[in-house]
Structure 1
Amino acid sequence: MVLLNNNYKLCLGSETIKKIHLGNDLVYSVADSIKLLLDEVPIASIAYSIRKLSTAYTGFCLRLRRESDNLEQDFGFLNGYLDSESIDAFLGASTGYVVKWYDQSDNNNHAIQPNIQYQPKLDLSSNKPALLFDDNGSNSFEFNDISNIRTLFFKLEYSSTANQVLAYLLGSDTNYDFHAGSSGVFFNTQYCSPFITNGTIKLNNSNVAANTKIPENSFVFSINTTGNLLADRISKDRYFPDRGWQGTYSELLIFSDVIDNLTTSNINQNLIDYYL
């Protein structure tokens, strides 16, 4: 038996054994040896992703609206990844917009956007699909309030053609804990919560300041706060129509717990290994 990246593989010589039966009973399967991210850290308050995050999760990944006729359909995972084949068959030559991003935690706090004007597009141009928020900063999702946010992880890409408006990662209808900075920086250190500026922020697993410029490529980003934050939406600041994320979202994990430094680094590395 070989341990590889915290996963066990049962081998006979150089060959991997996929299943073992004892009589008619299946006593070992290679699937049993594979652990996903939330199997290791199962305490997330919210978990949105285009990959499967928990072996126990049996729900959908997202709900799409087909632009050509506005028909909606849910799509799940195939071998741990978003079922792009079924999506391609559903869309044909049309474009797909995301109506709902399903929460893979135990809390069923799904991100929704019923208004077609504000729905992000599903970007299928690469082998890892992503939710594309337009360059006007107007796309967003809403979810039930979380008022005790302490640790967050993101997989993002910032648009190189963005209008450099305030690129909010998360927002709320009542406050601006995640107040974005102008000229393409992550946070405005005057207006965002001091629990962010006094916390630990990592860009691709390296510590950075709150007012660091957002890179114009794919990256992994995490925040360990020094106190509770509030959010109820992905992108979009309060009632402002053009303060929102510009680029793609692939994954968002929110924890109400303080995640220790080692586990934070391990989660960041998990995202880096998968996406970058």
Structure 2
Amino acid sequence: METIPSNPSPRTDGNCTTSSEYQYSTTSDLYGNEGFGISFCLGNKIDQISQGDNCATENGIVAGVCNSYNLKEGQMLWLRADAGVVKDENNLVSSWTDESGNHNNATASGRSRPLFVANQANGLPVIRFDGVDDFMSFNEISTMRTIFLVVKHDSGSSAGYEIILGHHTLYNFCGDIGTNLFASNNISTYIKNGQDFVNGIATAPDSMAKPANYSIISLVTTGNVTAEYITNDGNYPGRYWNGDYAEILIYDKALSETGRQTAEEYLMEKYGI
């Protein structure tokens, strides 16, 4: 591992000749606010050291281990199946730790516990819900403005109104039967009129399908939406997701285009999408 020098010489051309050089660069956060950063030459490669980074290797910042994306700013919830999962000897999940630091841990008990399954999404684990009665609860979040989910449906179609995020009385993310992901006449208008994407491609909510392969669903809403469950629609039968969740990120602000793309790039790189 390269050691960051205490008094390196500056560069402005983006080229490295030794590991004792650095350069200043402009940056922007997930909301489009501009700032600046310092990029150090590590192993003759330029990599930026920013808030949230943990370490650097001879190959630069290692994405997913030393996270250079700085995704935590404005986060309300961050669940990832490769961290913070509490399970029993049968891999039934009772708790999923919120990595945002807001303590919005997701929990489940009894028959509602989903299954931890290793080596699924690009070799990474997922949390699998059975579509019958599996769901998890977290502290109600009523200020959701940007949502990312890496999910896969078991078959890509359902007989019930399977929902990706739910609430005991609200239907902001109302699911649909068949292949449609959302019941477009019933979902929140803040989602319907927002900016919605599948794997980074703009997609109208009424054109979104239940993904039969691991996919990134991105929603940037025009107003606050609310959820407190991972796949439960008021305990109605037939409204539980039949499939996998690899990661969930929720923000209380509308991310800028650059911010959304930054989060999507992180997820695409991590899950090979």
Superposed displacement of residue 273, structure 1: 1.2
Shift of 1:103: 0.2
Name 1:45's counterpart in structure 2. Answer: 76
- Provide runs of 4+ in structure 1 moved above 3 Å: 6-9, 28-35, 161-164
Task: String of CA shifts for 1:33-52, please: whole Å, max 9, x gaps.
Answer: 45416634422000000246
1:30 Cα deviation from its structure 2 partner: 3.2
Write the distance in 2 (CA, Å) between the matches of 1:208 and 1:151: 15
2:86 to 60, 63, 77: 63
1:1-276 map, 5 Å: 1=16, 10-11=42-43, 30=57, 33-34=61-62, 35-36=66-67, 39-51=70-82, 61-66=84-89, 95-114=90-109, 116-126=110-120, 127-136=123-132, 138-160=133-155, 163-211=158-206, 212-276=208-272
Q: Distance in 2 between matches of 1:8 and 1:97?
A: 44
- Tell me the distance in 2 between the aligned counterparts of 1:229 and 1:37: 29
Worse overlay, 202-211 or 120-129: 120-129
Q: Is the 8 A contact 2:192 2:204 kept in 1?
A: yes
Matched residue pairs, number? 223
Secondary structure of residue in 2 paired with 1:270: helix
Q: What CA distance in whole angstroms lies between the structure 2 residues aligned with 1:238 and 1:225?
A: 22
Quote the Cα distance in structure 2 between the aligned partners of 1:184 and 1:198: 21
Distance in 1, matches of 2:241 and 2:255, equals 25
Task: Check the 8 A contact 1:162/1:246 in 2, yes or no.
Answer: no
- 2:88 match: secondary structure: strand
- Given that 1:176 and 1:237 are in contact with CA atoms closer than 8 Å, whether structure 2 keeps it comes out as yes
Structure-2-length-normalised TM-score:
0.74
Preserved contact between residue 123 and residue 129 of structure 1 (Cα < 8 Å): yes
Q: Is the 8 A contact 2:82 2:125 kept in 1?
A: no
- TM-aligned CA deviation for residue 181 of structure 1: 1.5
The residue type paired with residue 188 of structure 1 is A
The aligned amino acid for 2:79 is Y
Structure 2: gaps of 5 or more residues: 1-15, 23-36, 46-54
- The alignment-based identity, stated in percent, is 23
SS in 2 for 1:129: strand
The verdict on how the C-alpha distance between 1:38 and 1:262 changes in structure 2, with shifts beyond 3 A counting, is: closer
Is the 2:79–2:249 contact (alpha carbons within 8 Å) kept by the matching residues of 1? yes
CA gap of 1:29–1:228, structure 2 versus 1, over 3 A, is closer
Contact 2:148 2:248 (C-alpha < 8 Å) held by counterparts: yes
**CA distance in structure 2 between the partners assigned to 1:268 and 1:51 by the alignment:** 17
Q: What amino acid does structure 2 have at the position aligned with 1:140?
A: F
Cα distance in 2 for partners of 1:159, 1:196 equals: 24
Instruction: Tell me if the contact between 1:49 and 1:250 (Cα under 8 Å) persists in the aligned partners.
Output: yes
Cα distance in 1 for partners of 2:68, 2:165 equals: 22
1:204 and 1:220 in contact (8 A); partners too: yes
Q: Provide the secondary structure at the position in 1 that maps to 2:75.
A: coil
